[in-house]
C-alpha cells in the first residue's frame, strides 16, 4: 500500500517542483542568467553570490539614440518614433543601417560547454519577454 501511495505522490511532487521553479523565474536578465547557469550545472555557481560566480551571462545591446530631423530655422523638432496615434501620418526613411540592431540582448556561453542551440532557445523562450530578440555567442574562458 505504501508503494502505491508513493507511486501517486512522486509524480505530483515533481510537477509541484517544476511549477514552483517556473513561478520563481521570469524574463529579467538576472533570472535568465541564473536559470542558464543552473541548467548547465556550472561548477562553483552559487545563486546567493550570482555576480561573482556566474559563467554564462547576458549583456543588453546598446540602443542607438533617437533620430530627429529638423532645420535650424524650424521651431519644432520632429522625433521619428511611433507614439501610437494612428491618426497622424507616419514618417519612413530609407536607411543603410535599417535592421542593424535586430536583437535586444546577447547570451554569452563559454566555448567549453557543449550545447544544442535549439535546446537553449527553447529554455530561454519559455521565460523571455515577448518581442525581445537575442543571439547566442560563445566566448573563451
Report, as an integer, the average pLDDT of 115-140: 90
Mean pLDDT calculated for residue range 103-126: 90
Answer with the residue of higher pLDDT: 123 or 78. 123
pLDDT band at 57 (very low <50, low <70, confident <90, very high): very high
The whole model's pTM is what? Answer: 0.66
pLDDT in tens, 62-113: 876 666 566 666 666 555 565 555 555 555 555 555 555 578 899 999 988 8
Model confidence over 2-24: pLDDT tens digits?
Answer: 888 888 899 999 999 888 888 88
User: pLDDT value at position 50?
Assistant: 87
Residue 10 has a pLDDT of: 92
Enumerate residues 6+ apart whose C-beta is below 8 A from 107: 32, 36, 56, 57, 58, 120, 124, 134, 135, 136, 137
DSSP 19-44: HHHHHT--SSHHHHHHHHHHHTT-TT
Residue 20: all three cell numbers together: 514552483
Mean pLDDT of 114-131: 89
| Contact of 11 with 19, CB cutoff 8 Å | no
Residue 114's pLDDT is what?
86
Per-residue pLDDT, 106: 93
The reported pLDDT for the residue numbered 19 is 87
Locus of grid cell 566566448: 139
pLDDT value at residue 124? 92
Amino acid at each position: 500500500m505504501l508503494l502505491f501511495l508513493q507511486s501517486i505522490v512522486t509524480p505530483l511532487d515533481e510537477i509541484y517542483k517544476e511549477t514552483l521553479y517556473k513561478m520563481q523565474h521570469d524574463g529579467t536578465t538576472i533570472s535568465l542568467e541564473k536559470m542558464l547557469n543552473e541548467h548547465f550545472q556550472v561548477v562553483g555557481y552559487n545563486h546567493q553570490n550570482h555576480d561573482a560566480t556566474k559563467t554564462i551571462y547576458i549583456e543588453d545591446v546598446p540602443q542607438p539614440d533617437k533620430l530627429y530631423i529638423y532645420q535650424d530655422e524650424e521651431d519644432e523638432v520632429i522625433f521619428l518614433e511611433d507614439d501610437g496615434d494612428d491618426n497622424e501620418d507616419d514618417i519612413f526613411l530609407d536607411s543603410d543601417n535599417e535592421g542593424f540592431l535586430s536583437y535586444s540582448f546577447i547570451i554569452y556561453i563559454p566555448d567549453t560547454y557543449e550545447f544544442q542551440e535549439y535546446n537553449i532557445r527553447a529554455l530561454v523562450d519559455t521565460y523571455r519577454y515577448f518581442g525581445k530578440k537575442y543571439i547566442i555567442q560563445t566566448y573563451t574562458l
